[in-house]
Amino acid sequence: MGFSMVFLGSVSAILLLSLIAIFYVMMDETALVFSSIKEQANKLNSFYKTDFEIKNLNLQPQNATFNFWIENIGQEKLWQYDDFDILVTYDADIAGIKNRITANLAYNATDNIIIEELKAVPDSDTNSGNWEDQTGGNNDGSQYDEINEVQRDDQDFTSSSRMNNGNPNDQLDVSLTDIPDPNISTDHTVYYTYRKDASGGTTLDLTVSLIEGATTIASWTHTGIGITWTSVTQTLTTIEADSISNYSDLSLSFAASCSICSGSPRSIEISWAGLNIKLSPDGTSSGIDPNEWGIAFFVNDYFEFTILNSHEQIMNLGILEFSMWDGGFFELAISTDNGIIDTRSMTIS
């Protein structure tokens, strides 16, 4: 009898301990389930509180590029989208024929980026002095469009006034197209092509300056200019490149003058100019993740949706396969996996 009681007591104790263990296991599993539900609920809450807007769409037909801002107008950090498609529909200039093209610049974590350079070219006159485009240009009164070709073309050019004792100098200033900060201090080159309009006469000099706002970044002077087209490439020092804080506020200045002003008046002609920044083949030298974006598209400075806080914005640059048709149609549309769609359209000019 005593043994039976002891045995039954042991069995009861074992059963009780087993029930307690099962209870705690069930409690742990229940806690895990509730934790998972809470995590999913928080994720969905963030999901539905995210929103964005396309702003300040800007076309650069000379480069076959465009830039725009994405602003987080939601209440949370932007969702880490699994599907973030950028659709660009535009009129392309393909061998002189107008074609309507749609490019899907899709987010894809496996595609690589192939971007070799950023180019800023003249896009407006900020001070034309007495320079003219009747002699070698299209006679529209604007000088920048005589020198902003992507590829060098000496068949069209802008000309300073003819300088002598009565008119010893003439200056042209042109703004450059906006480009994002490349986040590097190497391989910044200013290029330009110049000549004197005719032999003999006054002796002419030219000073070319890269300027940010009202601050001169770098300057170069050429004396005793000849009548043959001379193409020059000037590489900025690391210190000069580092001193640029706003790549959307750059300009080039061309200061022509006569150092010997007696004799028949002569002028200086400029046919090509701009700023070029060379990147590594996969874009990584600019701080751009080569696995961040897909076909011919990148965003600057480690852009991730999870780090763009509410009311923050960032500029993005797109590279197109073909040149844009002047006066044609351009539309940018973004769609995501949570159903957000935003579009902007404009005329190419």
Tell me the CATH number at 135. Answer: 2.60.120.260
Domain shared by 201 and 331, yes or no: no
Total length of the chain:
349
Residue 332 predicted with pLDDT over 70: yes
Domain shared by 269 and 124, yes or no: yes
Domain shared by 232 and 288, yes or no: no
Of 33-42, 188-197, 307-316, 340-349, which gets the smallest average pLDDT?
Answer: 33-42
To the nearest whole percent, how much of the chain has pLDDT over 90?
40
- Alpha-carbon distance of 156 to 108, in angstroms, equals 42
Q: Quick check: 262 and 202 in contact, CB under 8 A?
A: yes
Q: Is 233 helix (H, G, I), strand (E, B) or coil?
A: strand
Domain shared by 64 and 200, yes or no: no
Full residue range of the structural domain in which residue 44 is found:
1-49
Number of domains in the chain: 3
| pLDDT, tens digit (0-9, with 9 covering 90-100), for 164-223 | 999 999 999 999 988 777 778 888 999 999 999 999 999 999 999 999 999 999 999 999
Q: Quick check: 51 and 276 in contact, CB under 8 A?
A: no
Domain shared by 274 and 285, yes or no: no
Domain shared by 286 and 272, yes or no: no
Domain shared by 132 and 159, yes or no: yes
Residue 307 is classified by DSSP as: G
- Alpha-carbon distance of 185 to 168, in angstroms, equals 37
Domain shared by 60 and 143, yes or no: no
CATH code for the domain in which residue 105 is found: 2.60.40
Q: Which of 278, 312, 335 is the last residue of a domain?
A: 278
More confident: 241 or 36? 241
The full DSSP string for 139-172 is: SSS-SGGGS--SS--TTS-EEPPPBBTTB-EEEE
Strand-strand pairing, 188-196 and 158-159: unpaired
Extract the tokens encoding 32. 């895990």
Domain shared by 263 and 291, yes or no: no
> What's the pTM?
0.56
